[in-house]
Amino acid sequence: MKFTLSWLRDHLDTEATLDELTARLNQIGLEVEGVENRGAALAPFRTARILSTEQHPNADRLRVCMVDVGLEDGANAPVQVVCGAPNARAGISVIFASPGTFIPGSEITIKAGEIRGQKSDGMLCSLRELGLGTEHDGIAELPENTTPGQSYANFAGLDDPVIEIAITPNRGDALAVRGVARDLAAAGMGHLRPWLAQTVEGTFDSPIVWENAFPEACPYVLGRTIRGVTNGPSPAWLQERLIAVGLRPISALVDVTNFFALDLGRPLHVFDADTVSGGVLTIRRGENDSLVALDGRTYAADAEDCVIADAAGVQSFAGLMGGGATGASDTTTSVFVECALFEPVRIALSGRRHGLNSDARQRFERGIDPALPVAALEAATRMIIELCGGEASEVVWAGEEPDWRREAALRFSRIAELGGLDVEPDLAVRSLEALGFALRSRDETRAVFDVPSWRNDIAAPITLAPQPGSTRDEAAAIAGVAAVEAECDLIEEVLRLRGLDAVPPVTLPLLGAVPLPSLSPRQVRGAIARRVLASRGMAECIGFSFTARSHAARFGGVPDSLHLLNPIAADLDQMRPTPLATLVQAAARNTARGLTDLSLFEIGAGFEESGLGLDGQRLIASGLRAGRTPRHPGRPAQDVSVWDAKADATALLAALGVPSEAVSVTADAPAHYHPGRSGVLRQGPKIVLGYFGQLHPGLWQALGQGGTAIGFELFLDAVADPKRRRKGAPDLPSLQPVRRDFAFLAESRVTAEALLRAARGAERTLIAGVSLFDVYEGEKVPDGMKSLAIEVVFQPRDRTPTDAELEAASAKVVAAVTKATGATLRT
């Protein structure tokens, strides 16, 4: 938001300096982003008059000028200046720079001296040398009646600094010069000047009327016709203000609307009334209408857009930008002035969809003063008639002013409790009244105020509303939340007017002598998984959480609840069921480019309609290996196998604190794995920790790939949080372990997992570990049978076991396996 100092003083009666005003703006939360003060750089330049000129005796192109520079030290002594400008002559008023002045256009500093033997005590300047133009044919000539000795910046109106402030999204009222002035006045920087729009009586019925078919987007709209106008350039004061804040003057009619958008924060629009067809302007939904807007671009309005149309079609993107066909031009003699209220969210969404930014959108999407339309229309009408002539019709309208009236209560004790600053109740009340809050009632502990119409951010209607069927307690709770928010809004205003720098800093209280963990267990599991998988030679990927619906179907269901209605791309329209879905695509792209050894992983979200985590979102550690292992001397390259995937998954589970003996494997992996070369990792019969195995050949081939790919998925949310245990000395046995191998002949249906579980439980006090090291099916075993070889580690604790004790423990292993699986010891 930009405005000049003089513009601010039109609304603020103050003696404060520019520095005091900008400092106060920062203190009350209207952050100053910059101040452009052209007058400061031009302060040394003064108006002057050439009294006489003579030809320089030693130079054909130079003249010696005697210059009246005004009163200086009580005397009006002429100054001699040597000048080479062809238009230097007696009697003209000029711009004079005394010695020591920096010339911005030439980047030099004037010095007193002699030029070709003639004394020269200054310089007569062109506008180019002041950095104000490009002319260079001679020195600048000022009007004849210019008094010598004036500040040129003041004379030319260049001593009006331009202030730019940052506006937070909730402060739509501060997008008006009057709103900024109101804040400064309430902060003690002067008094807000009264403003009252004078009514312009209509002398005829408007030939153009309103029809509102979209009241949800435009609850209230007014307008009136002004005929007999003469459009042309706006006066100098209006042009100078618009140029100073970065707007281009167009014509008097258009400049008036831009002026009130900045002055009162009230966007307006003028239609050339003679170009409006049918005599009716209709506010309706877009119907894929095409509009060539004032910026020259063509827009297509859909049903979510609010437009203003006549019998010929759409003539304005409501609240955003008018159309070129009905815009005011130099030939306009009759205008229709529009002043409307538009629903902020619809304006913001329409502007975002179409990439259409304008000053009107900026104000409408933050909320316009709903009580201002009538007064703003009257003020604009009067200015148009003053600048362009003409006569006004009666006002026509559709809809009615919204019921914006609301109240907010403030408990005085809460100012210190929430803001940490003690403010006297009387001072708090006076501060809010200065901002326009009307005191409704007050006692010793609280005050109730009527919120002014221009503060849409104070006690705004809460987005959470009681639903049909809500209990009385639920409705009361929602009302309580709204009251608390309104009170916080008032506290913020009171503290802001005291100055944000006056609020004392407060250290957050310590919750305990030992700080709480900075990461949740879920975050810790993700960090551990990332570290472990990277240490196993896998490269981390970060993919989109969505993929193509057809691709997601290969990894499970594609419920409509996870289908994206507004995807960033047509082939990214479904939330992915697992990060493995995007890893597969990344691997396919890499192998297609000649990479033969891929090891990728991702820690990310997978989505389902219901499951672990919030809203069906699960944290999954997925990994994928594809191609062949690297070639080394004495070790040929090999295809990746299902055991590589199992090794990755079990290593990660071990790092997460899941003991290997607590994990079992079943053969019911999802359909995107090879049905005979995959498994499900379980902890007990119900908890599924993840999957591993070779990817289904059909899936891999559908991506145009050959060879083998293996992968795994571990559900980190399914891993239990580690139990807090006291850390003591590790239990390190002093005796050597004893390792014995057993080979069992078992039916083919017997799983290695069942055999290992049976052996592990045979002698818990002595057995420290059981592992499978060989599986054989072939000629030397009967049909339907297989050989499973395991290693059992016996770990004595207090003494070395005897051979008899080891034989007894071995017999228990054999007996336990036989009983549980029917397997027999091979001989």
Nearest to 722 by CA among 779, 654, 775, 625: 654
Show the tokens assigned to 702. 């559908």
Tell me if 308 sits within 8 A of 338, measured CB to CB. yes
With 0-12 CB in 10 A as exposed, 13-18 as middle and 19+ as buried, what is 499?
middle
For 613, left (φ over 0), alpha (ψ -120 to 50), or beta?
A: left
Task: Provide the β-strand partners of residue 600.
Answer: 539, 624
Cα–Cα distance for residue pair 42/45, rounded to 1 Å: 6
Distance between CA atoms of 357 and 321, rounded to whole angstroms? 9
| DSSP β-ladder status, 298-301 and 306-310 | unpaired
Got the DSSP string for 711-769? EEEEEGGGSPPPPP---------SS--EEEEEEEEEETTS-HHHHHHHHHTS-TTTEEE
Task: For residue 336, give Cα distances in angstroms to 48, 179, 368, 758.
Answer: 49, 27, 21, 92
User: How far is 237 from 157, CA to CA, in rounded Å?
Assistant: 10
**Residue 457 labeled ligand binder:** yes
As a whole number of angstroms, the distance between CA 595 and CA 709 comes to 13
Known binding residue 489? Answer is yes
Q: Measure Cα distances from 43 to 6, 71, 123, 614, 726 in Å.
A: 18, 16, 15, 65, 77
Is 493 annotated as contributing to ligand binding? yes
Task: Give per-residue burial for 131-159: e unless 16+ CB within 10 Å, then b.
Answer: ebeeeeebbbbbeeebebbbbbbebbebb
101-113: b (≥16 Cβ within 10 Å) or e: bebbbeeeebeee
Distance of CA 602 to the CA centre of its chain: 27
Look up tokens 């007569």; give the residue: 124
Torsion-angle region of 687 (φ positive above 0: left; ψ -120 to 50: alpha; else: beta): beta
Strands 539-540 and 269-272: unpaired
Give 792's strand partners. 740, 770
Tokens of 643: 């055991």
Secondary element (H or E) of residue 363 = helix 359-364
DSSP 685-708: TTEEEEEEEEEPHHHHHHTT--S-
Per the annotation, binding residues are 457, 489, 492-493
Per the annotation, binding residues for Mg(2+) are 457, 489, 492-493
